[in-house]
Amino acid sequence: MDRLAAMQTFVHVVESGSFSAAARLLDIGQPAVSKTIAQLEARLAVRLLLRSTRGLTPTEAGMAFFERARRALEEADEADLAARGAGSGLSGTLRICAAVTFARLHIVPHLGTFLDRHPDLDIDVVLDDRNINLVEAGIDVALRMGPLSDSGLTARRIGECRRVVLATPDYFAQHGEPACPADLGKHQAIIYSLGGGAHWRFERGDEQQSVTVRGRIRVSAAEGLRESVLAHQGLTMASQWMFAPELASGAVREAMPDWTLPRQELWAVFPTGRLTSAKARAFVEFVQQQLASPGPDAQG
């Protein structure tokens, strides 16, 4: 039995959900698919699939084998590309994950440029503010903000930008503008639970101040934070990336520019225990180029 061909057949069965669908994808007969899976289970001495009237479901062992088989097939493809010197001719599907707002403002508008460079490549974009399991979701590379909670991740820092306190000019006109961190106690803060919460730490030279802001609105997603600030409902602490268009247009304005906050870091995170694909590397380099280019989304 050709082990690589058997793994490919099994991966197609799991992804398509049936022997017949996998047979169509592979352009072979359904009996050949069934025979391959039976031989694979016999060789491994383990049940990989549960068969029922509702379809096929991988067992725990089958799911583990599926993840590793898919990874092995991808790495085999990468080896072929490397041997042919075809690294610049990327093909297949690249699956990326990024926070909703950051992707909407700084990634999605530029995908056409990246795809123009690689006409045989497709991109599957997963938008999620949470740190999802990359292996389970089949992600090739994720873009994550801030400190990494899992030290075992394979990661590379690809950018950073300033965090600032900001609000709309209308909000400042109605409520006044804070001159120092202590003044924040007089204001309604829009609190972003994933972006530091209510505890904000400032520096100015050798001076440090930490404040706990108060606010009646707390949000768990950056889109909610943006909408609340743009509706003049309060001030907030956010990265310049999050409000890049509005900072450039003057729709929001930075307060206390002489006080600094911890900078926002951007990381490219790769599935642990897996070779980084040429597609993922090329995409990360492209994102770095976009962030380094002049404009509202530059690193600044």
In this predicted model, what pLDDT tens digit does every residue of 7-46 receive, in sequence order? Answer: 999 988 988 888 988 898 888 999 999 999 999 999 999 9
pLDDT of 298 above 50: no
As a whole number, mean pLDDT of residues 160-181 equals: 97
In this predicted model, what pLDDT tens digit does every residue of 92-141 receive, in sequence order? Answer: 899 999 999 999 999 999 999 999 999 999 999 999 888 888 877 889 99
Nearest to 256 by CA among 161, 163, 180: 180
Return phi, psi of residue 55, to 5°.
Answer: 130, -155
Residues 298, 159: Cα–Cα separation, whole Å: 9
Contact between residue 249 and residue 201 where contact means Cβ atoms under 8 Å apart? no
Say yes or no: domain 163-262 is CATH 3.20.20.70. no
Nearest to 31 by CA among 42, 40, 23: 23
**Secondary structure class of 223 (helix, strand, coil):** helix
Over the chain, what is the mean pLDDT?
Answer: 88
Cut 0.75: pTM above it:
no
**CATH 3.40.190.290 domain locations along the chain:** 163-262
% of the chain surpassing 70 pLDDT: 90
List beta partners, residue 198.
none
Residue 38 pLDDT: 93
Which fold, 88-156+265-292?
A: D-Maltodextrin-Binding Protein; domain 2 (3.40.190)
Residue type, 17: G
**CATH 3.40.190.10 domain locations along the chain:** 88-156+265-292
CATH of 3-82 among 1.10.760.10, 1.10.10.10, 1.10.10.410, 3.10.180.10: 1.10.10.10
> Each residue of 227-248: b (16+ CB within 10 Å) or e?
ebbbebbbbbbbbbbbbbebbe
Residues 196, 238: Cα–Cα separation, whole Å: 9
Residue 88 pLDDT: 53
Contact between residue 77 and residue 92 where contact means Cβ atoms under 8 Å apart? yes
**CATH 1.10.10.10 domain locations along the chain:** 3-82
More confident residue, 150 or 66: 66
